[in-house]
Amino acid sequence: MVENKKKLLGNNLAQLKEIALSLGLPAFTGKQLADWLYKKKVTSIDQMTNLSKAAREKLSQEYIVGIDKAIDIQASSDGTKKYLFPCHTGSAIEAVMIPDADRATICVSSQAGCKMGCKFCMTGRQGFKGNLETAEIISQFISIDESDSLTNAVFMGMGEPLDNIDNVLAAIEILTADWGFAWSPKRITLSSIGVLPALKRFLDETKVHLAISLHDPFPQERLSLMPMQKAFPIEEVIKLIKKYDFTGQRRVSFEYTMFNRVNDTKQHADALVRMLRGLECRINLIRFHAIPDSELSPSPMLIIEQFRDRINSSGITATIRASRGEDILAACGMLSGKQKQQLQ
Ligand code: SF4
C-alpha cells in the first residue's frame, strides 16, 4: 500500500545514503537519489533510469518519491496563482506563485493552520492543524507549474515557520545545498513574528534573509493584534536581531500591515524609527486586506503614503508593498486552506 511507504523527498544527502545502505545498495546511490529528487525533480522511482531495475524495485518496496499534486489551482487577473495541496494532517495547505517582470516567487506554507492567533490573519483564525513535513514543504516547490522558472522563495504562506524550525531548516538545507536545489540563500526570505529561541537558531544556522512581522511598535497595542507578543516580546526580538550583521549580503526587513486608526499615526511612525534605529533594514508597509468578522480596516492610501514619507525622512527605507492576488484570496493574511472561501 502506497500509504505505508516512506517518502524519499525531504531527506538530505546523508539520509539518502543511509537509505541506500539500508537496502543493500551502494552509498553513491544516495547522491544519485538526491540528483533525481532535487535536480531532475522526478515524480516516481521508475523515472530514476540510472539505477538498476533491481535497485528501483528494492526502493519501491519501501519508498515513494512523495510529491503532492495540487488539488486546486486558481489564477488571479494579475498573474498570481494559488495552489491548494493536500497535507498529512487532513487539511489543505496553500502555496502562491507571484510573477513579476524578471522574477517568479513562490510563497510557501510551513504549517497547516497556525498557533499564533494574529487577529488580522485568516490562517490564524483556523487554528493549528499540524507542522508540515520537510517533504511537504519541498513538494510545493516541485509541484507548481512554474517550478523550473522560480527565482525566489518566501516562507510567508500559512503558518509560523520558526514554530516548525526543524523541518523548515531541513527544507532550507535542501534548497541551498549543492546536492539539492543549489539556490543561493539570497533568493530566500523567511518571515516570522519572532519566535524565540528558534529565531537564534535560524540566524546562526542559515544565511537566508529575515522578515519580521512587526505591525505595531507599542508592546501593549501589539499584544492586542498579536497575542504571541506576550511570549515573544518584539523588544527582545529586536535586541537579538541587533546582535547580527545585516550590512552585507543578508537582509532584514520588517512587515508592517497598516490598520486604520490603530497603528497608522505619526506617533507609531516615530516609535518604529526609534525601535529600529541602528539597524540596517527596510520596512515594508502592507495594505490590510479585509477579512470577515474583523473590526480592523485598511488605512487609507494617503495615510500609508504619509507614514512611508515620515519614516523615509528619518533615514530608514520604507516602501509600500504592492498587493497581489487579492481576487483569489492569495494576498497577505488571506490564506485559509479553504477553496474559494467567500468574503462577506
Ligand atoms: Fe500565523 Fe503568520 Fe497568520 Fe500570525 S500572520 S497567525 S504567525 S500565519
What pLDDT shows up at residue 341? 46
Residue 70 has pLDDT above 90, yes or no: yes
What are the C-alpha distances in Å from 291 to residues 44, 119, 134, 287, 342? 40, 10, 30, 12, 10
> Mean pLDDT across the stretch 33-57?
97
For the Cβ of 212 lying below 6 angstroms from any atom of ligand 1, the answer is no
What are the C-alpha distances in Å from 256 to residues 91, 263, 295? 29, 9, 18
What pLDDT shows up at residue 342? 40
For the Cβ of 159 lying below 6 angstroms from any atom of ligand 1, the answer is yes
Give me the residue label for grid cell 511598535: 217
Q: How far is the CA of 20 from the centre of ligand 1 (A)?
A: 39
For the Cβ of 94 lying below 6 angstroms from any atom of ligand 1, the answer is no
Report the atom number in ligand 1 closest to the C-alpha of 121.
3
What pLDDT shows up at residue 82? 96
What pLDDT shows up at residue 339? 59
Q: Give catalytic residue positions.
A: 94, 332
> Mean pLDDT across the stretch 54-78?
97
> Mean pLDDT across the stretch 227-239?
98
Report the atom number in ligand 1 closest to the C-alpha of 226.
4
How many Cβ atoms are within 10 Å of 290's Cβ, its own excluded?
14
> Mean pLDDT across the stretch 98-127?
94
d(CA 80, CA 68): 20
What pLDDT shows up at residue 64? 98
For 277-304, the pLDDT digits (tens) are 999 999 999 999 888 889 999 999 999 9
For domain 2-64, give the fold. DNA polymerase; domain 1 (1.10.150)
What pLDDT shows up at residue 334? 82
Average pLDDT of the residues of the chain: 95
Q: How far is the CA of 245 from the centre of ligand 1 (A)?
A: 26
What pLDDT shows up at residue 343? 35
Residue 172 has pLDDT above 80, yes or no: yes
d(CA 46, CA 38): 16
> Mean pLDDT across the stretch 228-248?
97
What pLDDT shows up at residue 329? 83
Residue of higher predicted confidence among 330 and 127:
127
Work out the pLDDT band at 204, boundaries 50, 70, 90: very high
Q: In residues, how long is the chain?
A: 344
Ligand 1 pocket check: which of 93, 96, 108, 116 to mutate, most ligand atoms within 8 Å of Cβ?
A: 116
Every domain of the chain and the residues it spans: 2-64, 72-328
For the Cβ of 118 lying below 6 angstroms from any atom of ligand 1, the answer is yes
Residue 44 has pLDDT above 70, yes or no: yes
Per DSSP, the chain holds a count of helices (H) and strands (E) of 11, 14
What pLDDT shows up at residue 325? 85
For the Cβ of 123 lying below 6 angstroms from any atom of ligand 1, the answer is yes
Work out the pLDDT band at 4, boundaries 50, 70, 90: confident
What are the C-alpha distances in Å from 216 to residues 174, 204, 339? 34, 26, 31
Q: How far is the CA of 190 from the centre of ligand 1 (A)?
A: 13
d(CA 155, CA 162): 10
Residue 332 has pLDDT above 80, yes or no: no
Q: Judging by beta carbons within 10 Å of its beta carbon (0-12, 13-18, 19+), is residue 274 exposed, middle or buried?
A: exposed
Same fold, 2-64 and 72-328: no
The helix/strand/coil state of 118 is coil
Residue of higher predicted confidence among 340 and 186:
186
For the Cβ of 193 lying below 6 angstroms from any atom of ligand 1, the answer is yes
Cell of 42: 522526478
For the Cβ of 190 lying below 6 angstroms from any atom of ligand 1, the answer is no
d(CA 336, CA 209): 25
Global pTM reads 0.95
Q: Which residues pair with 155 in a beta bridge?
A: 190
What pLDDT shows up at residue 3? 59
Residue 1 has pLDDT above 50, yes or no: no
Ligand 1 pocket check: which of 131, 160, 256 to mutate, most ligand atoms within 8 Å of Cβ?
A: 160
| CB burial string 192-225: b at 16+ within 10 A, e below | bbbbeebbeebbeebebbbbbbbbbbeeebbeeb
Assigned CATH class of 72-328: alpha beta
d(CA 37, CA 43): 8
Share of the chain above pLDDT 70, in %: 97
